[in-house]
Structure 1
């Protein structure tokens, strides 16, 4: 990040924060992008037109927001910090930008207005829950920046340390493409690790909403104990998938006579493929909640 334009963006960001007496808290994910080249690259990845309504989570002072608004028909900008939201509101008025709907609230707790694309430098501390929330909405594509280690888990292969609830959940919902890495030097305050920009493209309906809800619950239960055998993981996290107490749960599982199901129950969580989790979740749901 040595270009004159990037240095200019860094100076502008620092001046605005100083002007309003804002001190960023990186523990809250307030790491602001100051690399103009990377910002423009992220916006370009979105392939925007005036027909697009873009959802942005964690707007900050508008480094991305303003550029998105210039290209999209509308931007739905969600910022939880009221002081930061006020700064952005004033910047938008000053630049006479009127196609931004600014929502000062917690993105995890609000219903999103209608949109078709997501482009965000996400607050890192909500990366997991906000990504799961995105999966409940229909959209054309998402361009999202995550911490590099988190991004790797999105494409984690079965049996590896990166295989997680996240990769299992995304498997049926989106194609995941790593677009570019972003150095920690590209932010203020500087985070401890680098970031990665990821593209999510929704898949055609490979799984019904009802089946995905069941799959989601079982996946959550399993990966709370990713190194345990599936039988024990499900018993320990039974509250996620059914209303049985421990004794009832053990009794139902011990009475399973299907050899295929019993073989799966002996496997470790990190060794089971998403398709197998889907099969297992549908079969066990009938047994445990039937």
Structure 2
């Protein structure tokens, strides 16, 4: 079967074995997003996992239901048809998946919001590098700040296009994401997320001007109060230069704390 748009099937059996073995999955409920033809699904099942596979393509769902009929009957595999960005996902412990490149950011944010013990996820290499980009570097952005606030990220594996069918135009990285509590107190997580989004939407502006550009998100009164309470040297900088602690400080001031 040919791959749907934006889906690149992992066909490198060595890589599959490595990915399936990066975390202990025996006896655990493992979420797999985009199982495709089921090569990673099979490796996870062989290691004793109960797999919840979310697949958007109806033809692939049908193919998986035929190929894994016994595992479905035994209750070891549940196939959830639909879009992983919005479909209801049954409870799970761990995530192991080759995420579609075009929706990597949305899926990562959704998974962090749902919560999990650990995730082994494959991304476009450039995307994964942005996830771990430190403040003050050209790659830092909303993704970097939000992921690093709520998780630690460790690169595990670098894969070439030859590991996939059809071959993508880019290299891929497999990373381990482990959720953690934020390193600094955050009074309101939604306000924090809004601050990060607004500031990086105006990343060429100073923090002062960026906050004032967020009048559709924050009330003018809360913006001016926060600006009055924040250090002037912070307000003169740009978002890529801020540390996580400083994003938390801004958000807490906007939240009235």
Correspondence list, 1:23-172, <5 A: 23-25=2-4, 28-50=5-27, 52-93=28-69, 98=74, 99-172=76-149
How far is 1:218 from its partner? Answer: 0.8
TM-score, normalising length: structure 2: 0.91
On the 8 A contact 2:187/2:252 being kept in 1, the answer is: no
Paired with 1:205 and 1:168, the residues of 2 have a C-alpha distance of 11
CA displacement 1:154-193 (0-9 Å, x = unmatched): 1111111111111101122111100010111111111011
Larger Rg: 1
1:272 aligns with 2:242: yes
1:238 alignment partner, SS class: coil
- CA-based RMSD: 2.3
Distance 1:133 1:209, change over 3 A: farther
Paired with 2:185 and 2:34, the residues of 1 have a C-alpha distance of 31
On the 8 A contact 2:186/2:251 being kept in 1, the answer is: no
The structure where helix makes up a greater share of residues is: 1
Paired with 1:119 and 1:196, the residues of 2 have a C-alpha distance of 13
CA displacement 1:237-281 (0-9 Å, x = unmatched): 432x32x4xxx46x9528943361x33222111111111000111
1:267 alignment partner, SS class: coil
Q: For structure 2, list consecutive stretches of 5 or more residues without a partner in the other structure.
A: none
On the 8 A contact 2:212/2:223 being kept in 1, the answer is: no
CA displacement 1:217-247 (0-9 Å, x = unmatched): 11111111222211222233432x32x4xxx
On the 8 A contact 1:221/1:238 being kept in 2, the answer is: no
| Counterpart selection for 1:253 from 219, 224, 227 | 224
Distance 1:159 1:137, change over 3 A: same
1:162 alignment partner, SS class: coil
On the 8 A contact 1:230/1:268 being kept in 2, the answer is: yes
Q: For structure 1, list consecutive stretches of 5 or more residues without a partner in the other structure.
A: 1-16, 18-22
TM-score, normalising length: structure 1: 0.81
Count of residue pairs the alignment pairs up: 256
Paired with 2:122 and 2:84, the residues of 1 have a C-alpha distance of 16
Distance 1:115 1:254, change over 3 A: closer
Distance 1:269 1:181, change over 3 A: same
On the 8 A contact 1:31/1:188 being kept in 2, the answer is: yes
Distance 1:205 1:230, change over 3 A: closer
